[in-house]
Amino acid sequence: MEKYLIKNLLEKDKIEMLPTRDGYGKGLLQAGEKDNRVVVLCADLSESTRSHWFAEKFPNRFIQIGVAEQNMATVAAGMANYGKIPFISSYATFSPGRNNEQIRTTISINNVPVKIAGAHAGVSVGPDGATHQALEDIALMRVQPNMVVIYPCDAIEAQKATFASAFNGSPTYIRLAREKTPVFTTKETPFKIGKAEVVHKGKDATIIACGPLLYEAIVAAEKLKKEGISVEVINNHTIKPMDAKTILTSVKKTKAVVTVEEHQIMGGMGSAVAEVLGQNFPAPVEMIGVHDRFGESGNPEELLNHFQLTHPFIIKAVKKVIKRKK
Amino acid sequence: MPYWQYVKGGLPIGRQNSSTGVIDNKEIKKLELMANNIRQDIIEMLLEAGSGHTAGPLGMADIFTAFYFHILNHNPKKPFWEDRDRLILSNGHICPVRYAAMARSGYFPVEELKTLRKFGTRLQGHPEREKLPGVETTSGPLGSGLGQAAGIAYAAKMDNRKFRVYALMSDGEQDAGNTWESAMFIAKNKLHNLTGVIDRNNIQIDGNTEDIMPLEPLRQKYESFNWNVIEVDGNNIGEFVNAVEEAKSVKDRPTLILANNVPGKGVSFMENRYEWHGNPPDSLNISGAPPKGEQGKKALEELKSIADKLK
């Protein structure tokens, strides 16, 4: 699998940097070209969600809703009920935050294929502060029956996830980030909704990561390799439905897990992994994520370090979890 | 002056002489009898279920009858027919009236009405799109029906489809911000293929609407949101049908029909009493009503005697 990732993976200064929201914008264009049922709705944030590219190319299929996320969810539910494929675009704190009940009733219980793009997820939003840094959205979305939850690791994967979700026939949440992050997958890297990918092979512990922090997880694995610790890394981009098979196959081999995500520990991807392990193959788990607090202003790098989400903390967690193995 | 000040003895006055243009008196009489049947169905369903909402369904029986037996372009045997008119019920709690109208118009057997709210039923306490074909949307949580109707109307307009979308709302859910977000969106996009209907029955679960959160001047609110507003007696089928026809001819704005309804209509001890908003017959002892155990029987007797007069 490693061959599918870019070659100079660890030379961060040479890697292309793009925000995952760019991938969303490109994925919308690609889906819009393929199928004219695709429509894009936006709540007064078209440039920062990158839905303005779609608006420029397909003005008749772009619907400006204004600052009204609840209405955006309900209008999209109606359009999907009719037969369109609507994408609703805003910041994750507002959608699926503010409009959570509308999503539950009119999208999830209705079971209509609305795609919810939550941009500006995580503390890496930076200076805007806690109100705009969504840390609860995975928890909100993964507890809704019928909802698919995807958290792409870079702009290329975000484009693939956006395109694929247009045609999966289900309510789907796509989690996106504001900040530029390394583009380390390629067009050839496999991506299938619901299929986790082993991106780094190892035997002493399994790091299960999602979103742009997957890059930090791979860096941690490479550094640990030099210390003689062999770590498997899984790109768990689809949080729901979770690929239990890939996770269990790896954990049965390594018997120790570190989960990595830019989200609250409670209810996030790591919690979902713990649910799978607890019921199938109990193993020690260390969790990298935000521990029951809100974010704050700062630059993204400062904040990622402050909240202990970067590779030095992942390395520490791996060593700790290996010690916990019986 | 708010409408309820015109109300005497539970019957709105001053509208009895309205014209009946597109619908003749014979047809109206037929529909009134059907509405009476549906009211009896509602009482029987709620008695069987032992829970549910009474006042709203009884008040809206005339409008639902008008829709299912006169207005809607629909086919009960083909609930997913693409060109059907869409009837979106936002205030899902009044679903007994929809279920009864659907059964009576041939969507499913009338006997199935007795399964309301029971385990395994297709007639969920609040309607669900995936359970029962024909209910169009899942609803109950208030304020989200108008937006869904708007989405359908917008999509239909994009594709130049000719069917109409009707969005039925309660007055209580005019408290909800989502309703007004949708009202703005519909006016912005001049969705004249959509007609809104508000069940203006002046009650909500905790009391009278004007005590809970004043809505007046409701007509002017919608007018200032760039809607065309037609006010009717919602228990006058001819008047309502005419308003729906009038709405079709207005092309520059969406139309709202403000339907002044008597909650509990047809059962004297329930009319205009908010206590019957969220309770079934035989569930509470209140002044002016027969004791528990006799309410359902009394309600059915009253409705049957009204039917006899209509025949």
| pLDDT recorded at residue A8 | 84
Listed residues A182, A204, A227: the one ending a domain: A182
**Residue B84 DSSP symbol:** P
The reported pLDDT for the residue numbered A4 is 67
Strand residue runs (E) in B13-164: 86-89
Is the Cβ pair B181, A105 closer than 8 Å? no
B128 contacts A77? CB cut-off 8 A: no
Residue A2 has pLDDT above 60, yes or no: no
Confidence of residue A79 (pLDDT cuts 50, 70, 90): very high
pTM: 0.94
Q: Are residues A32 and A164 in the same domain?
A: yes
Tell whether A20 and A8 lie within a shared domain: no
Same domain assignment for residues A44 and A106: yes
Q: Domains, chain B, ranges and CATH?
A: 24-310 (3.40.50.970)
Mutation target to probe the A interface, by most A beta carbons within 10 A, among B148, B163, B179 is B148
pLDDT tens sequence across B241-294: 999 999 999 999 999 999 999 999 999 999 999 999 999 999 999 999 999 999
Q: Is residue B135's pLDDT more than 60?
A: yes
Rounded (10°) angle between helices B177-188 and B145-158: 20
Tell me the torsion sign for CA atoms B24, B30, B36, B41.
negative
A181-219: pLDDT as tens digits: 999 999 999 999 999 999 999 999 999 999 999 999 999
Tell me, yes or no, whether A103 and A223 share the same domain. no
> Are residues B103 and B181 in contact, defined by beta-carbon separation less than 8 angstroms?
no
- Residue showing tokens 């409701």: B218
Task: Say if residue A114 is in the same domain as residue A195.
Answer: no
Domain residues for the domain of A41 are 16-182
pLDDT tens digits, one per residue of A221-236: 999 999 999 999 999 9
- Co-location of A31 and A167 in the same domain: yes
Report how many domains make up chain A: 2
Banded model confidence at residue B20, pLDDT cuts 50, 70, 90: very low
> In chain A, which residues have their Cβ closer than 8 Å to the Cβ of B141?
101-102, 105
B144 contacts A74? CB cut-off 8 A: yes
pLDDT, residue B8, reads 32
Tokens of B43: 């009482």
Chain B CB contacts of A70 below 8 Å: 143-144, 147, 177-178, 181
Q: What is d(CA B91, CA A223) in angstroms, rounded to the nearest whole number?
A: 59
**What's the confidence (pLDDT) of residue A187?**
94
Is residue B4 scored above 90 in pLDDT?
Answer: no
Interface membership of B81 toward A (CB under 8 Å): no
Q: Which of A69, A157, A179, A262 is catalytic?
A: A69
Task: CATH number of the domain at A85, please.
Answer: 3.40.50.970
Interchain contact, B148 vs A74, CB within 8 Å: yes
A122 and A237, same domain (yes or no):
no
Nearest to A310 by CA among A99, A6, A12, A40: A12
DSSP state of A152: -
Confidence of residue A7 (pLDDT cuts 50, 70, 90): confident
- pLDDT above 90 for B17: no
Domain limit, last residue, from A136, A164, A182: A182
Per-residue pLDDT tens digits for B183-234: 999 999 999 999 999 999 999 999 999 999 999 999 999 999 999 999 999 9
Per-residue pLDDT, B2: 34
| CATH code, domain carrying A284 | 3.40.50.920
B1 touches chain A (CB under 8 A): no
Q: Is A69 a catalytic residue?
A: yes
Average pLDDT rounded to a whole number, residues A111-124 = 97
Asked if A31 contacts A166 with a C-beta cutoff of 8 angstroms, the reply is yes
Per-residue confidence (pLDDT) for residue A9, from 0 to 100: 84
Task: Provide the shortest C-alpha distance from residue B186 to chain A (in Å).
Answer: 10
Closest in A39, A71, A82 to B147, CB measured = A71
pLDDT score at A12: 81
Q: Tell me which amino acid residue A49 is.
A: T
Q: Which residues of A touch B177 (CB under 8 A)?
A: 70
For residue A75, which residues of chain B lie inside 8 Å, CB to CB? 147-148, 150-151, 154, 182, 185
Complex-level ipTM: 0.95
Interface test with B, best of A106, A115, A146, A170 (most B CBs within 10 A): A106
> Within this chain, do residues A127 and A214 fall inside the same structural domain, yes or no?
no
Give the pLDDT confidence score for residue B194 in this predicted structure. 98
Q: What is the pLDDT, as a whole number, of residue A11?
A: 85
Mean pLDDT for the stretch of residues A282-309: 97
Chain A residues in contact with B178 by the CB 8 A cut-off are: 70-71, 74, 102
Instruction: Say if A77 is an interface residue toward chain B (CB within 8 Å).
Output: yes
Cβ contact, residue pair A75, B148, below 8 Å: yes
Residue where one domain finishes, among candidates A138, A160, A182: A182
Same domain, A105 and A133: yes
User: Mean pLDDT, chain A, as a whole number?
Assistant: 96
Angle in degrees, 0-180, between the axes of helices A244-254 and A269-280, rounded to the nearest 10: 70
Evaluate if residue B166 carries a pLDDT over 80: yes
